[in-house]
Structure 1
């Protein structure tokens, strides 16, 4: 699925959010690899579950053809600095929901990029009649949890001792969801 390009300005930084296209694949592979090394907020350590340019081309192609998938990129000076993805499930009992993920290069934290990627994803989901958006976030990622709560995500569960971080401690994963107009 595609959205129209949206331009933003925050703290003197101009950026654009748009749907990912195949020519973004090489930079997406690089950015994902970098982000995995910058923060422990992701599920992977740097280099694990590496996605190549061709892997991203395949993902983008699938997302272009699916009414229940949305892949967004954030660009500054035509360079990708972050991305988000909503991935639907094709099984009939789960076709009403998508799983959300978000990543922004650390140099661009605090510029409202993640906020606007999430805002555009939520807007798309609401207009596409998606009833539920789910996500997982490590308990100590308090800024992300606050951001999700601003968009009416609620904590739905806790996976205890789910993720082993560099501090040698097992951290909990918070399961969050946002429900949009679900009736019996």
Structure 2
């Protein structure tokens, strides 16, 4: 599915949030690889589960055609600096929910990009009748957890000792959800 683009200005940075297009595929492939190397908040290390341009093109095409998926990008300074995705399931028992994921280049943290991507996704979910949004967040990502709570997400569970990070320690993954009647 697609949304109307929106412009935001935060702390002097102007950026646009819009639906991803197939023309974004190559840039998204490189962006995801860079983001994976900048933070341990995500599931992958740099280069793991690599998606090439053709893979992103197919993903964007499928998401645009699906009423249960939404793929957004944030564009600033002439480049894609972040993306988010809501992925639904084709299974009837899970047709009421989507899972949200987001990635923002580290140089663009602090401009509300992740928050605006999530808010646009929530608005889309509410408009299209999605009853539940879920997400996973590393326990150490306290800023993200507070944002999710402010936007109506609740802790639903903890996956204990779920993720091994570069310091050699295991960390919990927090499972959060937002349910709309």
Q: What TM-score results when the alignment is normalised by the length of structure 1?
A: 0.97
Q: Provide the C-alpha distance between the structure 1 equivalents of 2:33 and 2:48, rounded to a whole number of angstroms.
A: 9
Three-state SS of the structure 2 residue aligned to 1:172 is strand
Partner of 1:130: 130
1:27 maps onto 2:27 in alignment = yes
**1:78 Cα shift?**
2.7
Partner of 1:164: 164
Q: Provide the C-alpha distance between the structure 1 equivalents of 2:141 and 2:51, rounded to a whole number of angstroms.
A: 24
Partner of 2:38: 38
Give me the CA root mean square deviation. 0.5
Partner of 2:140: 140
Three-state SS of the structure 1 residue aligned to 2:57 is helix
C-alpha distance after superposition, 1:30-74 (max 9, x if no partner): 110000000000100000000100010010011010001000000
Partner of 2:119: 119
Partner of 1:60: 60
Partner of 1:97: 97
Within a 5 Å distance, the mapping from 1:78-97 to structure 2 comes to: 78-97=78-97
Q: Provide the C-alpha distance between the structure 2 equivalents of 1:117 and 1:54, rounded to a whole number of angstroms.
A: 24
**1:29 Cα shift?**
0.4
Q: Provide the C-alpha distance between the structure 2 equivalents of 1:163 and 1:70, rounded to a whole number of angstroms.
A: 27
The runs of at least 4 consecutive aligned structure 1 residues that moved more than 2 Å come to: none
C-alpha distance after superposition, 1:84-134 (max 9, x if no partner): 000000100100000100000000000010010000000000000000000
Q: Provide the C-alpha distance between the structure 1 equivalents of 2:147 and 2:28, rounded to a whole number of angstroms.
A: 23
Three-state SS of the structure 2 residue aligned to 1:80 is strand
Q: Provide the C-alpha distance between the structure 2 equivalents of 1:156 and 1:78, rounded to a whole number of angstroms.
A: 38
Gaps (5+ residues) in structure 1? none
Q: Provide the C-alpha distance between the structure 2 equivalents of 1:85 and 1:25, rounded to a whole number of angstroms.
A: 14
Say how many residue pairs are matched: 181
Q: Provide the C-alpha distance between the structure 1 equivalents of 2:136 and 2:5, rounded to a whole number of angstroms.
A: 27
Q: Provide the C-alpha distance between the structure 1 equivalents of 2:144 and 2:164, rounded to a whole number of angstroms.
A: 19
Q: Provide the C-alpha distance between the structure 2 equivalents of 1:128 and 1:151, rounded to a whole number of angstroms.
A: 18
Q: Provide the C-alpha distance between the structure 2 equivalents of 1:42 and 1:142, rounded to a whole number of angstroms.
A: 14
Gaps (5+ residues) in structure 2? none
**1:77 Cα shift?**
2.6
